[in-house]
Structure 1
Amino acid sequence: MDVQRTGSVVRPPSPMESLEKQLSCPICLDMFTKPVVILPCQHNLCRGCASDLYDSRNPYRFSGGVLNLLVENIIDIYKQQQEGSGGSGGGTSETPLKPKDSNEPMCQEHEDEKINIYCVTCQTPTCSMCKVFGQHKDCEVSPLASVYQAQKGELSNAIDTLVASNGRLQALLNQMEETCRAVQDNAQRAKQGLGERFDLLYAVLEERKAVLLEQIGKEQDEKVAALRALAQRYGERLQAGSELTDSAVRALEQSSAAEFLLASKGLITQTKDAAKSSLGEERPEPGFEKMEHFTLATEHVEAILSKMDFGIVDEEEFEDAEGEEEE
C-alpha cells in the first residue's frame, strides 16, 4: 500500500481506475482518441498526438502507425461502463466490461466480442479479437461504421438507380399499351377506308356496266327496228305480188281470146316489173346481225386489280389499260 506523508492510508486504485490509466495517452494524458499503434515500439498514442510527432510535410506520414481497433473497442466499453455506473470510479461490485445482453450481434468465434470491425479482404463483419488473434489477422480491416455508411450509401444509390430503371420500364410499358391502342385504332380506320374504296370501285363498275349495257341495248333496238321495217316492205311487196299473180292466173283461165287480150297487155307489164323489182330489193349488209364489237377486253384491268396493293397506283399503266379497253 502507498502511504502519504501525513501518515494516512491511501486507498489503492480500483480496477476501473487502473484501466483508465492504461487507456490514457502518454502525450496528452487524456484517454485515447482514435488510438494508433506506433511500429515497431508497439506504443499506443492518440492519432492527433502521433500526427504531431511527424513532420506534416513528410509523404510517409503515419507510415509507422496502425489504427488500434482493439484499444478503441475497449475504450468504448469502458465509457459505457462508466455511464452505467454513474461515472464513479469506485464501487464494491464489478460488472463485465463487455455485456452479453447487448442487442448488437456478437462474434461467433469470440462470444464475448461484439462485431465492431469490417474485414475488407473477406468482405465480412468481424470482431477485434479475430483481427488480432483469429482468422482475419492478416486481412485488411476498416471501422464498421465507415463501411456501414459507405455500403449504406451505395445501397441507397443502387435503390435510386433501380427505382429510376423501374420508372423507365413502366414508362415503356405505358408507351407499349398506348402504341397497341393506336395500332388497333389505325387498323380499324384502315379497314373502314379500304371498304369505302372497294365500295367506290363497285359503284364505278356498276355504273360503267349500266352504260355499256345501254349501248348494246340501243344498237339491238336499232337493228331490230331496221330489220322489221325492211320485213314490212318485203311483206307489202309479197302481198302485191301475190295479188298480181292471182290476177294473171285468172286471165289465163279466160276462154275468150278477146277478153284475154284486153287484160293481158297490162298484166304482162305489171308482172315483169314486179319480178324485176324483187331482184333489186334492199337487203341487210353481211354480218349485220353480229354484235362482237361489244366484246369488252378486261385482261389488263383484271391484272391491275389482281395486283392491287397498299402502295402508289401506277396511273400511267392504268391509263394505258383503260385506253386499250376503249379501243
Structure 2
Amino acid sequence: MNTMENLEKQLVCPICLEMFTKPVVILPCQHNLCRKCANDIFQASNPYLSTRSSTLTSGGRFKCPSCRHEVVLDRHGVYGLQRNLLVENIIDMFKQESSSSKPAPARKEETPMCDVHQEEKINIYCVTHGVPTCSMCKVFGDHKDCQVEPLSSIYQTKKTELSDGIAMMVGHNDRMQGIISQLEETCRAIEENGRRQKTLVCEKFDQLYTILEEKKRDMSQKVTAEQEEKLNYIRGLSRKYGDHLEESCKIVEMGIQTLEEPEMASFLQNTKPLLKKITEASSTAHLDKVERGYENMDHYNVNFKREGKALRSIDFIADDEDEDDEEEDGDEGTEDGEGTHLGSEGSAGTAASLAACSTSQQINSTPSTEKSSAST
C-alpha cells in the first residue's frame, strides 16, 4: 500500500494536483505535465500570441513549474512537445492495479446543508448575490426574487475561472522571478563596479604619494647639500685658525726664552726677527671671517597652505569637467611625462601639479654664502 501511495504521488501533475490526464507531455527538463495544464501555462505566459481556442500558435515560451527551466516552443506550441508514453502506460497499469487490488469505495458526497433551512441541501446558485443556496430559499426565503442557476453550470464556470486565474498567477510569478533575477544581477554589477572604482582611486592616490615623496627627497637633498658645504667650510676655517694659534704659541715660547737670555749681544740679535714674527702672527688679515648669521638656514622656508587647500578639495568630477581638464592639461601632460589627471577624482590633477611645480616658488632656495663674499 505504501508503494502504491508513493507511486501515486509521483504521478500527480504539479498544476492541477491530480493524476496526469492523457496525453502527458514531457518538457526539455524531463518534467511531465498534462497537455491541458501545459497549454494553460503557455497561454497565461503569452496572452497576446494566440487565443485560447486555437490549436496552433506562432511559438512562445514559458517556465517549468517544477524547476523554473525556460521551455521554448515552436509554432506548434504545446502540441509540438513529445508525449511521454512511458508515464501514460504507468498510469494505465496503476489504475488497473488499483481497481483489481481493492474495490473502489463508494464515495459519499457530503452536500452542505442550508443554514436557514437546515433540512434542505444546497442545490442551486444565486447569481444575484453570488452565493449557493437551497430551493426553499428561492421559493420562500431571501432569494425568491433573485436569479438562480444550477450548481453544475456555475461549478464548471467557476472552475474554469479559477484555473485561468491560477495560470495567470503562474505567469505573473514567472515575471516577478525574472525581475528579481535582474535586480540580483544589478546588485552584483554594483558591487563589482564599486570594487573596480575603489581600486582606481587607490592607484591615483598612490601616484600622488609618489610625487610628494620625490619632492620631499629633492628638497631634503638641497638642504643637506648646503649643510655639508657650510660645515666643510667652517671646519676648514677652524683648522686654519688652529694652525695660526699653534704658530703664535710657538712664537710666545721663543719670546720667553729670548727674555731669559743674559747676554745683551745675543739678545739683540734674536730680538729683531722675533719681533717681526710677533708682528706677522698678530695679524689675522689673511684668515677669512664668518659673517653674522652664516649658520642660519631659514632661507629654506616652506609654505604649503595653497597645496594643502588644493589637496583638501580633491573630489570626484563630472564628465563635462573631465573633458575641460583634458583640454587644459593635455600639453603639460605630454611635456612633463607625468599625467596626474584622474579619471575619477576632482582636483587631484591640480593638486599634483601644484605640489610638483610650485614647490620651487614656495622654497626660497638662496644659494649658500660663498667664501669670497664671507671674507670681506
Deviates more, 1:266-275 or 1:187-196: 187-196
Cα distance in 1 for partners of 2:146, 2:111 equals: 21
Residue 172 (1) aligns with residue 179 (2):
yes
Cα distance in 2 for partners of 1:263, 1:179 equals: 108
Deviations 1:106-131 (A, max 9, x none): 76349677724x31221113455543
C-alpha RMSD over aligned residues: 3.6
2:294 alignment partner in structure 1 = 288
Deviations 1:29-49 (A, max 9, x none): xxxxxxxxxxxxxxxxxxxxx
Q: Map 1:301-320 to 2 at 5 A.
A: 301-306=307-312, 308-311=314-317, 312-314=345-347, 315-316=349-350, 319-320=353-354
Contact 2:307–2:351 (CA under 8 A) maintained in structure 1: no
Q: CA deviation at 1:138?
A: 0.8
Contact 2:121–2:134 (CA under 8 A) maintained in structure 1: yes
Residue 115 (1) aligns with residue 123 (2):
yes
Distance 1:106 1:252, change over 3 A: closer
Q: Which has the larger radius of gyration?
A: 1
Cα distance in 2 for partners of 1:167, 1:177 equals: 15
Contact 2:126–2:149 (CA under 8 A) maintained in structure 1: yes
Cα distance in 1 for partners of 2:133, 2:140 equals: 12
Secondary structure, aligned partner of 1:267 = helix
Q: CA deviation at 1:245?
A: 3.0
Choose which of 214, 231, 234 in structure 1 pairs with 2:238.
231
1:188 alignment partner in structure 2 = 195
Residue 241 (1) aligns with residue 274 (2):
no
Cα distance in 2 for partners of 1:217, 1:317 equals: 27
2:67 alignment partner in structure 1 = none
Deviates more, 1:173-182 or 1:145-154: 145-154
1:138 alignment partner in structure 2 = 145
Cα distance in 2 for partners of 1:191, 1:114 equals: 72
Cα distance in 2 for partners of 1:243, 1:106 equals: 142
Cα distance in 2 for partners of 1:192, 1:322 equals: 24
Distance 1:206 1:324, change over 3 A: closer
Secondary structure, aligned partner of 2:240 = helix
Cα distance in 1 for partners of 2:300, 2:147 equals: 104
Query: Which runs of no fewer than 5 residues in structure 2 stay unpaired?
Result: 1-106, 318-344, 363-376
- Greater relative contact order: 1 or 2 (C-alpha under 8 angstroms, separation 6 or more)? 2
Secondary structure, aligned partner of 1:294 = coil
Distance 1:110 1:227, change over 3 A: closer
Query: Which runs of no fewer than 5 residues in structure 1 stay unpaired?
Result: 1-100
Distance 1:235 1:267, change over 3 A: same
Deviations 1:274-298 (A, max 9, x none): 323x156311222221222334434
Cα distance in 1 for partners of 2:233, 2:121 equals: 130
Cα distance in 1 for partners of 2:256, 2:118 equals: 160
Cα distance in 2 for partners of 1:317, 1:143 equals: 87
Contact 1:107–1:115 (CA under 8 A) maintained in structure 2: no
Deviates more, 1:217-226 or 1:311-320: 311-320
Opposite residue 233 of structure 2, the aligned amino acid is: A
Q: CA deviation at 1:149?
A: 4.8
Distance 1:266 1:110, change over 3 A: closer
Contact 1:106–1:114 (CA under 8 A) maintained in structure 2: yes
Contact 2:126–2:147 (CA under 8 A) maintained in structure 1: yes
1:219 alignment partner in structure 2 = 226
Alignment TM-score, normalising by the size of structure 1: 0.55
Deviations 1:218-260 (A, max 9, x none): 2221111111111122122222222333333333333333333
Q: Map 1:198-213 to 2 at 5 A.
A: 198-213=205-220
Cα distance in 2 for partners of 1:257, 1:107 equals: 167
Q: CA deviation at 1:201?
A: 4.1
Deviates more, 1:101-110 or 1:170-179: 101-110
Contact 1:131–1:139 (CA under 8 A) maintained in structure 2: yes
Secondary structure, aligned partner of 1:211 = helix
Cα distance in 1 for partners of 2:223, 2:263 equals: 62
Contact 1:121–1:140 (CA under 8 A) maintained in structure 2: yes
Secondary structure, aligned partner of 2:299 = helix
The share of aligned pairs that are identical, in percent, is 36
Contact 1:300–1:321 (CA under 8 A) maintained in structure 2: no
Alignment TM-score, normalising by the size of structure 2: 0.49
2:3 alignment partner in structure 1 = none
Deviations 1:124-152 (A, max 9, x none): 13455543444311113345555445434
Cα distance in 2 for partners of 1:253, 1:186 equals: 100
Cα distance in 2 for partners of 1:135, 1:273 equals: 148
Q: Map 1:23-34 to 2 at 5 A.
A: none
